[in-house]
Structure 1
Amino acid sequence: MRLLEAENHKILHGDVLEALATVETGSVNLVFADPPYNIGKDFNGLKDFKEEDEYLEWSRAWIAECLRVLSPTGTFYLMTSTQMMPHFDLFCRARAHILSRIVWTYDSSGVQARRYFGSMWEPILHMVADPKAYTFNADEILVEAKTGAKRALIDYRKDPPQPYSTEKVPGNVWDFARVRFKMDEYEDHPSQKPEALLERVIKASSNAGDVVLDPFSGTFTTSAVAARLGRKSIGIEINEEYVKIGLRRVGIPSTYSEDELAKVKARKTKNKSKKDRTGEGITAPEVAQATLF
């Protein structure tokens, strides 16, 4: 395992269980875990497990480690596929207190199932070590209270009378667009999570100066948002190409050249754009230049 760090931010390059073993017990205020879902995606050459039992055994091991490093007042957000969440839920409810079962819903991206109802959401388990002592900054994550019209009602129970609030704490159904190829935050990764989702998680469940851990950092969105919001971060990642993304996004010095850390814009899928299919628009050299920015 390799440690790369700057002030307040660390990247642990290596196996998740080996890396977690180096983290001090009870030292992390917030964990956000978005592991491989074991549904056949290729993470830059690293494939999923073949057997479900093997995947679940491995998952229980790293979840237990995340709970070990969580502080007594800490919070743990855990994502997985809709198929695997029942297994994770049963395992976690015996070891932590589940506050919310969150639904992250998004548009279909044009992908249509033909023999069943296609999935347009992913589950997030929101749990805490102690249900009587945990961080939840409601005022930091308020959203518009949509009622179909602007509320102009007055609460005459207060002295002096005050308009009713037009904001509220979000419910457990979160509507964030998935990261698209043309978005500025896009990175070359098959399951990148949006910055807006991580911003809500980090604002709600941590404070400035707290330690935020992501055991499967991928594009290091968790670490990047944590840094922007004044938190400390620990990002664990086994894939060197993704570690390079983390070094760039978090601003950690390294021996890699500027070219090696440059942002490369490539599609997550093998599907080609219309211009690529027809050969129209730009020439091959121009394509190569257009993918870097």
Structure 2
Amino acid sequence: MQSYEQQGNIIFHGDSVNVLRNHISSASVDLIFIDPPYNIGKKFGDFHDQWDSEEEYINWSYQWLNECIRILKPNGTLYLMTSTQAMPYFDIYVRKELTILSRIVWHYDSSGVQAKKYFGSMYEPILHCVKNKNDYTFNADDIKVEAKTGSQRKLIDYRKSVPTPYNTEKVPGNAWYFPRVRYRMEEYENHPTQKPESLLERIILASSNQDSLILDPFAGTFTTAAVAKQLGRKTISIELQKEYLKIGLRRVFGWQEYEGERLLSPDKNHKIRNKHGKNIECEFRQGSIFDANITS
């Protein structure tokens, strides 16, 4: 296990259970975002995300989950993602120690080969949990989105004593649409399950404040830490794979070199050809971090 620290941000290179158990104090973290291996057979560097049985995977998961609950502050918040198949185990287990405020569905656009003999998966579930349902952070004004009833349809609520236009903004519901990270997007890193910055920004803005301490025990592309740093939060990230550690050192610390190796972001080819073979010049951008757009 190695650790690196810079300006209130800490990166641990090591096993998550070990780091959580031996290097992070109880009741010390304001917000935890957990996006663990899903046990669905993906390759992450030298690690194969496949346990011998579902029982082994769940027992391993409960180890890091217990540690995350231990280190969460009494007024802290925890977000937990996993596969649709495994979520029932987590949902039932978490209720013993935490209050589940919301069961969020992150849905996204389709890509690649889709299922032909059943309905293919186009969402991932997220639990929004707190230790104390009467004392936790939720910054509703920081995450409001357009309310189409008021802003676009301009409907009037005639149920009130004085007819009033519907609000033009609202707190998002529990069904979130954010595009998945694609190869040509500005934020893309070489990782099979990278989560979008827009998703993490909503979570961090909603459930933490300036100088809050945020933990990501399975850092991957370090999106949690990168977005949290931009928003003035402090972070702890844990990553086992050296390949992804280097992403964190570059993305969070701004390092340009590690152990004699230059740390470079992926080279993204922005040239697209139409059906006639002609190049189309496209600009991929992320205007608001809340959305991902493409203009041509």
Partner secondary structure for residue 26 of structure 1: coil
Deviates more, 1:168-177 or 1:50-59: 50-59
In the alignment, structure 2 segments of 5+ residues that lack a partner are: 274-278, 280-296
Whether contact under 8 Å (1:29, 1:71) holds in the other structure is: yes
In the alignment, structure 1 segments of 5+ residues that lack a partner are: 268-272, 276-280, 282-293
1:78-97 to structure 2, matched below 5 A, reads 78-97=80-99
Match of 1:203 in 2: 205
Once the two structures are TM-superposed, the CA of residue 45 in structure 1 deviates from its matched residue by 1.9
Deviations 1:241-272 (A, max 9, x none): 101100111126586168531113489xxxxx
Please state if 1:151 is matched with 2:154: yes
Match of 1:76 in 2: 78
Match of 1:27 in 2: 28
Q: Number of matched residues?
A: 271
Match of 1:7 in 2: 7
Once the two structures are TM-superposed, the CA of residue 215 in structure 1 deviates from its matched residue by 0.3
2:80 partner letter: L
Task: Give me the TM-score of the superposition, normalised by structure 2.
Answer: 0.85
1:12 partner letter: F
The CA RMSD measured in Å over matched residues stands at: 2.6
Please state if 1:243 is matched with 2:245: yes
Partner secondary structure for residue 47 of structure 2: coil
Match of 2:37 in 1: 36
1:1-293 to structure 2, matched below 5 A, reads 1-21=1-21, 22-48=23-49, 49-147=51-149, 149-151=152-154, 153=156, 164-251=166-253, 256=258, 259-265=261-267
1:4 partner letter: Y
Percent pairwise identity? 55
Structure 1 residues 110, 47: CA separation in 2 closer, same or farther (over 3 Å shift)?
A: closer
Task: Measure the CA separation in 2 of the matches of 1:227 and 1:103.
Answer: 25
Task: Measure the CA separation in 2 of the matches of 1:182 and 1:30.
Answer: 30
2:27 partner letter: G
1:250 partner letter: V
Whether contact under 8 Å (2:256, 2:262) holds in the other structure is: no
Whether contact under 8 Å (2:250, 2:256) holds in the other structure is: no
Whether contact under 8 Å (2:138, 2:207) holds in the other structure is: yes
Task: Measure the CA separation in 2 of the matches of 1:111 and 1:102.
Answer: 25
Once the two structures are TM-superposed, the CA of residue 157 in structure 1 deviates from its matched residue by 7.2
Deviates more, 1:88-97 or 1:243-252: 243-252
Deviates more, 1:10-19 or 1:247-256: 247-256
Task: Measure the CA separation in 1 of the matches of 2:128 and 2:160.
Answer: 35
